[in-house]
Amino acid sequence: MRFKTVLALTIAILITGFILHMPVEVQEYVFHSVFNPNPIYNDLYNSNYKGILANPCGNPTQWFNQAKRSVLCSGESVFPTAYLDYKLPEPPLAGLAFTVLTALAFLFSSNVFSTAYATALYIVQSIISIMSVFLALILFNRKLSNRFNEHWLPLGFASLLVYGIYSLNSLILPLYVLFLTSLLEREHHKALLYAGLLTAWNPFFTILFGLSLAYMLESSHPLKHYAGLLPPLIAFSALYVVNPSSLEYLVSNYLTPVFNSSVYWLFTGSVNTQALYAVSWGVLSTVILILYGLKPLGGHIALHATILVLASWVLNPVAVPQTILFAIPLLYLCSSDPRLRASALISEVLNALIILLWFQDRYLREVLNKTLGLGLPVENNPASTSSPVFWIIQVRNILLLALTVRMFSDYWELVISAEKH
């Protein structure tokens, strides 16, 4: 499939996603009617905007600056700032991006409660997300087209539909492509720099930050090549200077036991959550260190990094579905066989279904009870073992584990073969 065709399909999918994610109030404001009463969940809009910024009166504990919160509740026009005025569960660079998005929306409407402001925020987020994915694809084609394996197509289309306009993660895809390019070209000092910036945006990239550092330490480098260590240090230090309570809030969030759509959900009903959380991080850390120790072989850096990302995602206690956006580009850089492709594609579709069906749990239970007579408890609780959404999550996890083990097996054979020769 030609790149222009892939690009056109991607843009079409993102525009479709823009329509399907559009909040009800935005539909009413733009089209004066509601054509989709159940839009796809948008994490930035629903959690960060509706849950925090636009809800100061109903959620006072989420605010540092109670004076500004009171001003907002009184109906006055004022712009609240993340980290200073309210708690935002995002790392520093992602929080800065959210502040910029909310500031741009404020230029259109100075009332953060208004539908005009909500509409501006959603449209600004969508436009920047679409532009970021577009730029990432252009960079991927220009810098990595010689490594691109089109046999993986159409992997990624379902994810872009559901997660392309979902959170702040899509905004860093161009930077992620630059990281992958540097990694594969063995420019490890550049990879470390990009990974440092990515880590200050999303803590998941700590894994790739460590991988870049491990590669760096294999040979001698001048001190200036370790500049990549500075971005996360500077970002989190700046957050501490701005408001120490914000950094404390973030650290507290990271230490709080959360098992978001992870394989560990299978055990949360019978094991102490704090102990399980510690064990899960212990398992993940051990696997990561083992993978760090398996040095990349020849042109198999992409396979090494792919195994690391997949393992770090599926064994992570906070296995958020949007992490798949970082696994897909790596898969396109690996060789494949039909079994791997089938497993990856099914996993991706199931991963997309998680968000599509998360808030339809009660309805799914009712349908299954009527059609199959399963006798499921009729409730909205996707984290319970009786939930169809829970089943989808665990099937996805099993497939991802199988995919990771198979790719690791292939890589291990390459390691053994290299040692023999």
Among candidate residues 186, 168, 177, the one with its CA nearest the CA of residue 129 = 168
Angle at 396 between CA 384 and CA 14, to 5 degrees: 105
What per-residue confidence (pLDDT) applies to 421? 61
Q: What span, in angstroms and rounded, lies between the C-alpha atoms of 220 and 110?
A: 54
What per-residue confidence (pLDDT) applies to 342? 94
Residue 419 has pLDDT above 80, yes or no: no
Domain boundaries of the chain, sorted by first residue: 3-420
Find the mean pLDDT for residues 300-318. Answer: 95
For 6, the token pair is 């892939």
Burial label for 51, CB within 10 Å (0-12, 13-18, 19+), is middle
Pick left, alpha or beta for residue 163 (phi over 0 → left; psi -120 to 50 → alpha; otherwise beta): alpha
Reduced DSSP (H G I as helix, E B as strand, rest coil) percent helix, strand, coil of the chain, to 5 = 70, 0, 30
Please write the tens of the pLDDT for every residue from 186-239.
Answer: 999 999 999 999 999 999 999 999 999 999 998 888 999 999 999 999 999 999
- Return all residues near 327 (Cβ < 8 A) that are at least 6 apart: 306, 309, 310, 313
Among candidate residues 352, 336, 348, 357, the one with its CA nearest the CA of residue 154 = 348
Please write the tens of the pLDDT for every residue from 121-142.
Answer: 999 999 999 999 999 999 999 9
What percent of the chain stands above pLDDT 70?
A: 99
DSSP class per residue in 291-324 = HHHS---TT-HHHHHHHHHHHHHHT-SS--GGGH
- Return all residues near 30 (Cβ < 8 A) that are at least 6 apart: 22, 119
Q: What is the mean pLDDT of the chain?
A: 94
Find the mean pLDDT for residues 18-29. Answer: 98
Please write the tens of the pLDDT for every residue from 74-115.
Answer: 888 899 999 999 999 999 999 999 999 999 999 999 999 999
Residue 274 DSSP SS3: helix
